[in-house]
Amino acid sequence: MTDAPEDTEASAHEAHGGGLGSRLNWLRAAVLGANDGVVSTAGLVVGVAGATESRAALLTAGLSGLLAGSMSMAAGEYVSVSTQRDSEEAALAQEKRELREDPEAELAELTTLLAARGLSADVAREAAEQLTERDALRAHARVELGIDPDDLTNPWHAAGASFLAFTVGALLPLLAIVLPPTSVRLWVTVGSVLAALALTGWWSARLGEAPAGRAILRNVAGGALAMAVTYGAGSLLGATGI
C-alpha cells in the first residue's frame, strides 16, 4: 500500500497528457505552421507571377510575405500562450491560497478526486495524505487542475516555434519561384507546393490518428485553389496594366 501515492501521482499526470501530449501538440502546431507558410507564400508569389516575370518583384513579394507571415504567427502564438500561462499561474495561486486557508477541505477534495479515479476510500485517503505531505500544491495541480507546476507553457518557445515553422514552409515556394528558369518556374512552384501539402496533410492526419486520404485531399485541394485564384487575379491585373 505504500506504493499507491507514487502510482496515483504518475497515473494522474499521464491522464492529463504528460510530456508526450505536450510534445505532440507542439509537433502538430509546427506542421500546421509550416503548412500555413507554404500555402500563403505560394498564393502570394504565384499571384505576382501571373502579373510579372520580374525575378526581383517575385523575390521582394515572397520575402515580404515570409517576414510578415512569420512575425504575425509568432506574435499571435505569443499572445495566445501568454494568456494560457497567465491562467495557469492564476489557478496555481488560487490553489495555494486555498491550501493555506483550509487544508482539511483541500485534503478531502483530493481524496474525492483520487477515489473518482477508481481507488477505494481508504486507499484514496492514504494516498491523499501522503501526496499532501510530500507536496500538496503539486498534487492538487496535477490531479485537480491538470497542470505540471514544473512545466508551464512558455510563450517565447511557442512564438519561436511558430516563427521557425512558418519560415521553413514559406521558403519552399519562394525558392521554387525565383530559382528555376522563367519558362518552368510556375510549374516547378505548383508541383513542389502540392507535394509539400500532400506531405503535411499526411503527417497531420498521422498525428491526429485520422484517415490520411481525406486530409491529403483537403490540403492539396485548398492549396491548388489558393494558387489558381491568386494566379488568375495576378494575370488579370497584369493584362490590364494595373
The answer to whether residues 61 and 45 touch, using CB atoms and an 8 Å cutoff, is yes
Alpha-carbon gap, residue 134 to 94, rounded angstroms: 19
Q: Where are the beta strands (DSSP E) in 60-171?
A: none
Highest mean pLDDT among 8-17, 103-112, 228-237: 228-237
User: pLDDT: is 151 or 102 the higher one?
Assistant: 102
pTM: 0.74
The answer to whether residues 72 and 65 touch, using CB atoms and an 8 Å cutoff, is no
Alpha-carbon gap, residue 50 to 53, rounded angstroms: 8
Tens of pLDDT, residue by residue over 31-85, are 888 889 999 999 999 999 999 989 999 999 999 999 999 999 999 889 988 998 8
Half-sphere exposure of 134 (CA within 13 A, CB side): 12
Residue 16 above 50 pLDDT? no
User: pLDDT: is 88 or 168 the higher one?
Assistant: 168
